[in-house]
A = this chain, B = another copy of it.
Amino acid sequence: MSIRVTVWHEYRHEKKNKTVAEIYPKGMHEAIASHLRKSPDLIVKTATLDEPEHGLTDEVLQNTDVMTWWGHMAHGDVKDEIAQKVAQRVREGMGLIVLHSGHYAKVFKLLMGTNCHLKWREAAEKERIWVVNPGHPITRGLNSDCIVIDHEEMYGEHFDIPEPDELVFVSWFEGGEVFRSGCVWKRGGGRVFYFRPGHETFPSYHHADVLKVIENGIRYVAPQAGVIQYRNGSPNIKPSLEPIKAEHVVDESIHRH
Complex: how many Å from CA A181 to CA B253? Answer: 26
For residue A202, give the distance in angstroms from its CB to the closest CB of chain B: 8
* A115-B232, A186-B135, A223-B135 as given contacts; A170 in contact with B178, CB under 8 Å: yes
Bound complex: CA of A253 vs CA of B156, how far in Å?
Answer: 22
Tell me the complex Cα distance, A226–B143, Å: 10
Residues of B within 8 A of A187 (CB): 113-114, 162
Q: How many positions in chain A have a CB within 8 Å of any CB in the partner chain?
A: 108
Q: A167 to B165, alpha carbons, bound, how many Å? A: 11
User: A175, B120: Cβ atoms under 8 Å?
Assistant: no
Least Cβ–Cβ distance between A251 and chain B, in angstroms:
5
B101 and A135 within 8 A (CB) = no
Residue A241 CB within 8 A of the other chain: yes
CA distance A190 to B177 in the complex (A): 24
Inter-chain contacts of A17 with B (CB < 8 A): 251, 253-254
Shortest C-beta distance, A184 to chain B (Å), equals 11
B-contact 0/1 string along A168-189, CB 8 Å cutoff:
0011111111101000011111
A72-B256, A163-B165, A186-B135 as given contacts; A117 in contact with B244, CB under 8 Å? no
Task: Write the nearest CB–CB distance from A176 to chain B, whole angstroms.
Answer: 3
Asked if residues A122 and B227 are in contact (CB atoms below 8 Å), the reply is no
**A251 — which chain B residues lie within 8 A by C-beta?**
17, 19, 201
Q: Is A51 an interface residue (CB 8 A)?
A: no
Contact residues of A between 113 and 151, Cβ < 8 Å to B: 113-115, 117-126, 128, 130-137, 139-142, 144-146, 150-151
A123-B163 in contact given A110-B113, A229-B134, A229-B135 (Cβ < 8 Å)? no
Chain B residues near A175 (CB-CB < 8 A): 237, 240-242, 244
Quick check: is A1 within 8 A (CB to CB) of the other chain?
no
7 A-B interface contacts by CB (under 8 A): A17-B251, A19-B254, A122-B250, A124-B249, A172-B176, A176-B241, A177-B241
Given contacts A119-B235, A122-B256, A141-B226, 11 further A-B contacts (CB under 8 A): A104-B257, A121-B236, A122-B252, A126-B244, A128-B241, A135-B229, A146-B241, A162-B187, A167-B167, A171-B178, A201-B250
Binding site for B on A (CB under 8 A): 13, 17, 19-20, 72-73, 87-88, 91, 93, 101, 104, 110-115, 117-126, 128, 130-137, 139-142, 144-146, 150-151, 154, 156-160, 162-163, 165-167, 170-178, 180, 185-191, 200-201, 223-238, 240-242, 244-254, 256-257
